[in-house]
Amino acid sequence: MKHRRAVLLMILVTLLWSTAGVVSRHLEVAKGFEVTFWRSAFNALSLVAALSWMRGAAFWRQLPRTPRAVWISGLCWSVMFTAFMMAITMTTVANVLVTMALGPLLTALFSRLFLHHRLPARTWVAIVLGSAGIAWMFGHEMQGSAASLAGMGVALAVPLAAATNWTLLQRIAHSDSSTEKPDMLPAVLIGALLSALMTLPMAWPFEATAHDLTLLAGLGLTQLAIPCLLVVRLTRVLPAPEVALLGLLEVIFGVLWAWWGAGEVPSSSALWGGAMVLAALVGNEWLGWRRVR
């Protein structure tokens, strides 16, 4: 797969990831941990079907002998699936999103420390500008109470887990080991199952209507299962910091989805912050393309 195609597919991934907010606005009864549970459960069901089709019966025979790296990645996925919703129940969306904007910087630092990757100056500038754009979008809405700070601490688990996951996936994809590289797709399934199990006690008793379950089943398939399987493949082509940097588009797309699908008009600060993120991403990709040319 060429770099340009991988970038386009990563943009598609972020577009699919970003649909959670607008879909949740149309839920009738389900909320909080029940939303997270059903989304993770339907994600797991979708992955069972997809991996059975992709890998066949041999997949299930090999699953008990899954290498440790797959379980570590699965744990990271479970944190990513769960911590966001937990943080939302403790603080504002603005606090959570500003905290998650640390993802590209953490990923770049992890790549430098553990993979010894030297990032070009343009990528560092893009990371700083993109993170500043997210902070500009939501900074004026941030709250600093003790409960909010605790929520931001939980939200910090998302970029930490993501940075760990992208770095691990890239290390395996580009390792020079003569042994066979582990199949990392089962990690997404492990993460979905762990997330569903962790949130089940807090989701009970169930209140979701048939309408809610239909929407959450759609999220499990199109907002989690498909894009997460794609991003595992894309980490073989895109550097981990670039994956995290392009992931900032999820916030931009999420604001646009809410504007178009739920009538939530973005503020001027959101538009300016979004412009900063887009400028950072476009500038980084354009300068990289010029260097290759």
| C-alpha of 6 from chain center | 16
Interhelix angle for 240-247 vs 103-114, to 10°? 180
CA 85 – CA 126 distance, rounded (Å)? 28
CA 224 – CA 134 distance, rounded (Å)? 22
**Predicted TM-score (pTM) above 0.85:** yes
- Give the pLDDT of residue 145: 65
- Give the pLDDT of residue 118: 83
Q: Which amino acid is at 71?
A: W
Q: Which residues of the chain have a pLDDT value below 50?
A: none
Q: What are the DSSP E strand ranges found in the chain?
A: none
For residues 111 and 229, is the Cβ–Cβ distance under 8 A?
Answer: no
10 Å CB burial of residue 92 (0-12, 13-18, 19+) is middle
Q: Find tokens 């699965």 and name the residue.
A: 74
